[in-house]
Each structure stands twice: as structure tokens, then as C-alpha cells.
A = this chain, B = another copy of it.
């Protein structure tokens, strides 16, 4: 097995210098005749530039990292992260970069992996997501000079680049929609309050309710994003006889729907449900979920684009906020249900 060849070798075969070959590869100025000859040699030999050498010399790796702390075994049970990764991956491909994935749990190993993320010469920048409120990871990142953008809204957003969806406005819309439908005893299945998405959706919903002169009183239970937690939360809530529930995630809403059905009640007949995410396929539930749709894939793509500007040197923090959109389907009762099932 012969040695991999390098720029010099290719140049020798084409009768030009290292530099000229480099120019051909990277699109510099080369006479068309020379270019033709060099390209022929490259095609013939299958030459490919060495990524590490390039990174070292140019001080840029062409790799971006995606960091997801507290990635438990259940990470992908919620379609959210898969969708986000898909968006990030596709945008990464588009800008001709490579994606590195850093998942870590809450163990003590976490620290060492964090430090791997900021290893010089490994990635050009990172996207950080799934952080909890006051997550030390954000502070840690700020202490380095590694370019990074946050997906979500960190507490101290002021000084960081971030892209998020308008959780608060979306939840408010849900409240207004439910109020408009005439509910009297609204309830809330909230997302964990140690996440900004959780608090934003909660406060947005309460705010919308207040505008309509309504209140959840004590009809509020906090879930943990899981379907099972949504089911249990709804079970608990049923004792309070709510006539409308806003569930802070689709996945929890699927569980809530099941609890309603198993209690012998009907959605939307007895209880209207509106959820947040718009991520589970409508057909998957009966009735179809009315949901506040957040553009997850776009968020991922935008995060990559934003990161490239940070890598390129942008320094004044930019906050991108995507609007959400209410998709009215069956579970809220605004539309006649196709086939109300027992």
C-alpha cells in the first residue's frame, strides 16, 4: 500500500509547484491551461487534501459542534431533538462543514467532555442547547473564546448569541384561543420550571388567561416532558374538573389525551386540549392535536448560520426569535371532530 500523496506529489506529477496545486484546489488564480492539467492529475490520483493539515495551517477546522448536556437515555424519545439535529445537520452540510456531536449525561464525566468541546483545533464553534436555567455550561463557554450560539433562551441572554422561538407569545395565543372558545376552568400541564422554555410557556399562558379574565387557580401540574408525565398530570388534574387544558408539549399532550380517554371522558367534548410543539404527526392522535407549532428545523438551520457569522468574527450579540403558529385541529373543539370516539 503506497503512501497517501500530498500537494507536493500532485504538483510534481503535473509539473507545477505545491502552491499552484493548492490554488487549484481552493479556487485561486491559475491559468486555465495549468488548471486543466492539475485537475487531471487530481482526478486520476484521487487526491484529497488532508483535513488536519489544513486545519493547522489555516487555523480553522470546518467542524462545528453540537452540545447537548443532560442527554439522558430518553433524549430522543421526544421528537424535538431529532428534529433539531436534522435541521442543524442539513444546514451544516449546506455550508460545507462537518458536525460533531457532544452528548453527555449528568455524571462527573460531564466535566471532561465539556473540556473536550473547547479543545483548540477541534471545532470552529459550537451550538449549545437543552440547557437548564443557570446552567454552568453557558458561563463556562463565555469564559473561553470559543464561538458559540445557544438554542433557547439562556438566563443571561444579554451577552450571548441565541436563537429561540417565542414561547411566551405562543402560549399566550393558546390561552386566548381557549378563552375564545368559552372555557371557564382552564388548566395547565406545565413543562419543567428549571428550563426557560418551561417558564416562558407557563407565564405566557397565564398572561393570556389574565387578559381574558380567567385564571388556572390551582389547576396546574408540572410534567417532565415525558408522555407518561403528561398522563399522570392529567389524571391529577381531572379531579379539578377542568374544561380546557394547555399542555406545554405535544408529547405530554399525547399522554394527557390518553388519561382523558381512560377516564371515560371525551376530548374535545368534555375537555379542550391545546399543546405546544406541533411536532407529532396530526394523524397520530385521535382527536388530532391543536397545537402551537414551533419551527424546530428552521431554528436549527438558523443556529448554524448564526454560528458561522460568529466564527467569522461577529461580536455584537444577536437574538433571533422565531414566531410560532397556532395550528387549529380537533382537540380544542373549535372544529367539529371527524369521528368523536369514546
Can you list 30 A-B pairs with a CB-CB distance of less than 8 A?
A48-B115, A48-B119, A50-B119, A51-B119, A51-B120, A51-B122, A52-B52, A52-B53, A52-B61, A53-B56, A53-B121, A55-B55, A55-B121, A71-B89, A76-B79, A76-B81, A76-B85, A77-B79, A81-B82, A82-B82, A85-B103, A86-B103, A89-B101, A90-B103, A93-B103, A99-B100, A100-B101, A228-B283, A228-B284, A262-B286
Give the complex CA separation of A132 and B287 in angstroms. Answer: 35
User: Is A239 at the interface (CB under 8 A from chain B)?
Assistant: no
User: A36-66: contact bitstring with B at CB < 8 Å (1 yes, 0 no)?
Assistant: 0000000000001111111110000101000
How many copies of this chain does the complex contain?
2
Q: Is the CB of B52 within 8 A of A122?
A: yes
Q: Is the CB of A101 within 8 A of B102?
A: no
Q: Tell me the A221-239 residues at the B interface (CB within 8 Å).
A: 227-228
Residues of B within 8 A of A29 (CB): none
Give the complex CA separation of A75 and B227 in angstroms. Answer: 20
Q: Is the CB of A76 within 8 A of B83?
A: yes
Q: Is the CB of A120 within 8 A of B48?
A: yes
User: Is A108 at the interface (CB under 8 A from chain B)?
Assistant: no
4 nearest A-B residue pairs (beta carbon):
A76-B82, A52-B55, A52-B121, A51-B122
- Closest CB in chain B relative to A95 CB, distance in Å: 12
Q: Tell me the A115-171 residues at the B interface (CB within 8 Å).
A: 115-116, 118-122, 145
- Known contacts A98-B116, A100-B100; is A109 also within 8 Å of B85 by CB? no
User: A251-284: contact bitstring with B at CB < 8 Å (1 yes, 0 no)?
Assistant: 0000000100010000000000000000001011
Residues of B within 8 A of A53 (CB): 52, 56, 121
Give the complex CA separation of A105 and B49 in angstroms. Answer: 25
Q: Is the CB of B93 within 8 A of A113?
A: yes
Give the complex CA separation of A83 and B73 in angstroms. Answer: 8
User: Is A1 at the interface (CB under 8 A from chain B)?
Assistant: yes
Give the complex CA separation of A83 and B74 in angstroms. Answer: 8
- Closest CB in chain B relative to A329 CB, distance in Å: 16
User: Is A341 at the interface (CB under 8 A from chain B)?
Assistant: yes
* Identity of the chain B residue whose Cβ is nearest the Cβ of A281 in the assembled complex: B228
Give the complex CA separation of A1 and B105 in angstroms. Answer: 33
Extra pairs beyond A51-B119, A81-B82 (12, CB < 8 Å)? A48-B115, A48-B118, A49-B119, A51-B61, A52-B53, A52-B56, A54-B121, A93-B103, A93-B113, A98-B100, A98-B116, A101-B101
- Known contacts A76-B86, A82-B77, A82-B82; is A122 also within 8 Å of B98 by CB? yes
User: Is A342 at the interface (CB under 8 A from chain B)?
Assistant: yes
* Identity of the chain B residue whose Cβ is nearest the Cβ of A98 in the assembled complex: B100
Residues of B within 8 A of A284 (CB): 227-228
Give the complex CA separation of A105 and B93 in angstroms. Answer: 11
